[in-house]
Each structure stands twice: as structure tokens, then as C-alpha cells.
Amino acid sequence: MKKEAIISLFIAITILLEPALAQCPCEGRTVILKAPAVSMTSTGELIGVPTEFVITVAPGSGHVYVETWPLTEVDMQASARLAAEVAGRVLGIDMSKYDVFIQVKADSPIIGGPSAGGTMTVGIIAALMGWKVRNDVMMTGMINPDGSIGPVGGILEKASAAHQAGARIFLIPEGQRIQVVTETQRKQIGPVTQITTTQRRVDVAKYAEERWGLKVIEVRDIYDAVYYFTGHELERPKPKGHIIISTSFLEKDAKKDYDETVQYYNTVSEKLKNSEVSYSTYSYLRAALDDAHNTLQNAKRAIDSGRYYTAMSLDFQARIVIRHVDWYIDVYEGRDLEDIFLEVKKEIDNVETYVSNLTIRGVTMLQAVAASETRIEDAKEYLKEAQASYYKQDYWDAVSNAAYAYERAKTAKLWAELGERYARGEVISREAIKRAARNQLDNARLIVTYVTSMLGQQNLQDLINTLNKGEQYYEDGKYSAALFSAMEARIRGEVILDTIGIDNVSVLKDKLNMMKEEAKTAIGLAEEGGTVPLLSMAYYEFAESYEAKGDLQDIITAMIFYQYAKETAMVFLGWKSSGESAKTTTISPPISQNSTEVTTTITVTKTETVSGTGTKICGPAIIVLIGGLAAIFRRH
């Protein structure tokens, strides 16, 4: 009887320990890295803080566990999860078969999260492959879904932290070597305090070398970072052939669109001429049509030069103005504005019904449907604005917003039709898009929170609104729109970090050229993978049109659109098949699901197998189990 009781209690304790066992890395590899972070003092000053990352990868079921102490001021879970995803894509390893455990230790609360993403990715890759990591190398930089190392704040403070931790090499995101430092000087002149604020450009590499002997190196992506930490080279994915980016897929649509817009312009011009509007109203509406005519001339030049997406964008701008004039004449002559609102709503509803019934086949169609969904939601918002203006008796804005909503719905139909035209490959399930959207939203939330924690929410409300819009799309079940809105928010946040305080056009152009090349590469990879990245190529061309203008703000806008082009091309694109091997002969095999053998060049956690079950237990779990059994034997 006693024996049966002991067996029963043993089984009960084992069941109770199951949750603990699920989170216990009993067979795997551990890598320890240091990374610099930023902490904010009670006076609001940013200071550098050395941080230790203990990263263990073990066979499991795709979980990522993070423990931070003290707690970080920005959540690190999303960044850790993204780091694991990127590590899997780089190596061609299915991360659903592994669990990742990350411990973060610092001396004070840090503004963590995104800036440690690159370091965590390196650690996970090293643990998976059994590579040693150099203890004199440290890095700061976000990890992006495409494997690039994204911009961060507090570079100077983090360089100081790297020096304090004994680093000899400090890796920073490419393009962030030059930092803009704001200095405030106070001078007392009698009873008056004079405050002078100046901005100074600092070459971080030169400063760190002179002051601490610390070598600062810019890294472009995780492939660069892994090399500096481990000495191993992973082959960077790149297209095999020559990349030609063209929006010729829009040529027929662009020419038709232009002809129809010109015809509409002529019709409304004649309608204005024959209308009964007053002289002042006629003059105002005539000037608006003249502006539309100039826009159409630019559209024609874009068509002649093969920039078909740009031409259609210009047509869209012209049509909004033309329709505004058209409907304003109607209202002036007695048409009820609510009748116009009904016409707009009917157009939006028809397009939305059409899009909601589409089955998404392949990434090309996904891009097009996402573009369509976001335009439908834009149209709805502008219709609401039109109705709000109407109730305020602001009929001019009411007609303007209604015109925008109507034309936006028309472009939504165009993108949906393009999606159907280029549908190919397997069906992408709604659930897969939902998961991708949730991941993108979490990553975007992390970046936006990080940016606002570094720079404050002032002047960043548009960025926050973009993210909130993506969350609303997600709640409404518009997962494609949510996916791309989240991407937009994250990219805008990164560009803000990357360009803050920079007013030198040549510096921005260097960053721009780098982004342009990366976008081109991403489009080439997508095409080789069987995707026709319609949206990516459209964004790329649009970026070129802003780049050609050459002004400071135009360059920043071009940077954003090149990033859009790159990111949309990489959606659902795997970088490396699991059959490929890395570019070195010294790689040990990834952690085995069945074997307990691991490389001896890194820390190993391994325990004995419990007889008859094949389950391994360790740490607190085994202590609790032994203690429980000891108590049972003492009792009996």
C-alpha cells in the first residue's frame, strides 16, 4: 500500500511540475553577451549602462522566454521574439522546434527593447550553431524583420557603456556614425538667465577612439554583426541576375486613367463655363481646375518617361480637384450634399464587398489587397470628415473630403483588380495574415514606444496615430491593412531615429543610397522567389520621384518609400532554404532534437534522463521533486 502511495504521489508531483519543466532549458547551449543600454536619471539625463544577456537555446516548441532585472522601461518580449524569427530565417532553421531563454541583467532600469534586438539575434544564432562569441565586442542596434540592423538612440552614451564594460570593438547601425548633440549653456546676466542651445555634429568613431581607444564600426545587417562577434561568415542572400525595376505592369492602366481624367477635366471645365455660379466662385473654381491641368501635364510627362505609378498618383490628385469642382457646382445649383454622401458610401460599400470576397493567392495578391484595404479605410475616414464638415455648415470642406473619399475608393478597386490579375501560387490563409499582422503590430509598438521614450511624444502624434490605425484595422478583421499599416508605423519610427537632427543633405543622401540599394535587392529576391512585388515596385518608383527633387524633406520622404519598397517585398519571403549551408566549414551542427551531445566550446546545460520517460528536468524542478520524495519517505 505504501509503495502504491509513493508511486501515486510521484506521478502527482510530476504533473504539478509540468509547467516548470516546459520553461526549463535542460538540453541546449548558452551564450553570454554584453550590450550597452541607456538609462534615464531622475533629472532626465541619459546615461550609458552595461547590460548582460544570457541566451540559451534548447529543443522545444517555439517559445521565447524573457526575464529582465531590473525591469526595462520598454518591453523586450517583442524584440526577443523577432530576434528568434530572424535567426531562424538566416540559418534556414525551423524555430518552432526550439525554445529560447533570455536573461537580461543590468545595474539600473534601462530603456531597453529594440536597441538590443541585434545582440539577441547574434546570441541566438551563436547558440544554435555552437559558436564562441568574442567578449570584447559589443553592439547596439535594432533587428528588423529583413535582418538589417536598425537605428537607435543614445549612441554616445552607449559607447561610454561599452568602454566601461571592457569592449574593444563597438558595433553600431550603418549610417549612425555621425551624431547630433544638443548642448545647452546657461549664463547669468544680472537677474536674467540667458539660455543658449546649440547643436553639434560628433563623429562617434573618432571621439571613441581618441577618448577610450574604442573602435567603432558600422554594421549593415545581422550578417556583418555575426562575423564581428564570431568570426564566421554567413552568406547574405542576394539575387542572381540583373535587377530591373519597372512599373510597366501599370502602363495600360496608367494611360487609360490619364485619358479618362483628361476627358473628365474637359467636361467639368465646360460645366463651369455654363454654370450660374457667381464671379468670385467662378474665379476660385477656375483656378482650382488650372491647378488640376498642371498636375495632368506632369502626369503626361511621367507616362512618357515610363513612370506609370507616379502618373497614376498625379491623376488621382487631379481627379480629386476636378470632382471637388464638379460637385461644388452641383451643390451651388441645388443638389443635396447628403445625396453626394450616399453616392460616395455606395461606391465604398461596393468596393469593400468585392475585396472581402477575394481569396488571396500568393504574396503579389496580398500586397495588392493590402493596398486596396487601406484605401477603403481611408475613404471611410474622409467620408466621416465630410459629414462632420457638413454638420458644421462648412460646405467647401464637406465637398472636398467627399471627393477625396470617392476617388480613394476608386483606387482601391484598381488595386484589388491588379491583385486578381497577378494572383498566383498557394492560397495565403486569413489566419497566416492575422499572425503576420499581429507580429508586425507588436514590433511597431515596440519601435514607437522606444522612439517616444527617447524623444518624447511631442511632434510624434502622427506616428502614434498610424500605429493606432493599424490596431483598429486588426480589431476590424482587416488583417492585410493592419499588416501594412504596422509596417508603415515601424518604418517611419526608424527613419525618425535615423535622421533626427541631421540637416546635411549629403549625409542624408548617403543613407538614401544605402536604402535604395537594399530596396532594389529585396525586389530582386522577391522576383526570383516567384513574386511580382507590385506594391514594392510602385513605392520604389515613387521614392525616385521624391529623390529627384533633392530637398531635405523630399530626401527623407524618399527614404521612407524606399524602406516601404524593401519591407513589402520581403513579406512572407524566406531568405534561406533549410538545405543550404553557411559559407564556412567550421560550423557545428544545430542542436539536435534527440541527441544530448553538444559542442564543448560554449556553456552547456545538460542533465540525466529520467528512467523510462525520456524527459529531462533540471534546476528548481528537480530540487522540488527530490524534496517532495524525501518528505514522502520520511513520512512512511
8 A C-beta contact, residue 408 and residue 378? yes
Closest C-alpha to 159, from 185, 184, 177, 144: 177
Closest C-alpha to 236, from 144, 148, 364, 108: 148
Catalytic annotation, pick one of 39, 115, 160, 485: 115
12-21: list long-range contacts, CB under 8 Å, 24+ apart: 13/624, 13/625, 13/628, 13/629, 14/625, 17/617, 17/621, 17/624, 17/625, 20/620, 20/621, 20/624, 21/615, 21/617, 21/621
Put the strands of the sheet holding 137-139 in their side by side order: 137-139, 169-173, 215-219
Q: What is the amino acid identity at position 360?
A: I
198: left (phi over 0), alpha (psi -120 to 50) or beta: beta
Q: How far apart are CA 178 and CA 418, in angstroms?
A: 43
All three cell numbers of 106, joined, read 543590468
Q: How far apart are CA 437 and CA 77, in angstroms?
A: 16
All three cell numbers of 150, joined, read 536598425
Closest C-alpha to 309, from 382, 410, 415: 415
Distances from the Cα of 32 to the Cαs of 120, 138, 449, in angstroms?
A: 10, 11, 27
The dihedral over CA atoms of 451, 457, 461, 464, expressed in degrees to the nearest 10, equals 40
Distances from the Cα of 157 to the Cαs of 49, 118, 130, 466, in angstroms?
A: 8, 18, 32, 30
115 assigned to active site: yes
Q: How far apart are CA 461 and CA 443, in angstroms?
A: 18
Cis amide prior to 70 (ω within 30 degrees): yes
Closest C-alpha to 420, from 371, 359, 374: 359
Catalytic annotation, pick one of 39, 79, 148, 158: 158
The residues pairing with 33 across neighbouring beta strands, listed in sequence order, are: 53
Residue 469 has a CB neighbour count (10 Å cut-off) of 20
CB neighbour burial string for 330-339, b if at least 16 within 10 angstroms, e if fewer: bbbeeeebee
Q: Which runs of E-coded beta strand occur in 262-405?
A: none
Q: How far apart are CA 171 and CA 138, in angstroms?
A: 6
8 A C-beta contact, residue 560 and residue 491? yes
Please list the active-site residues: 115, 158
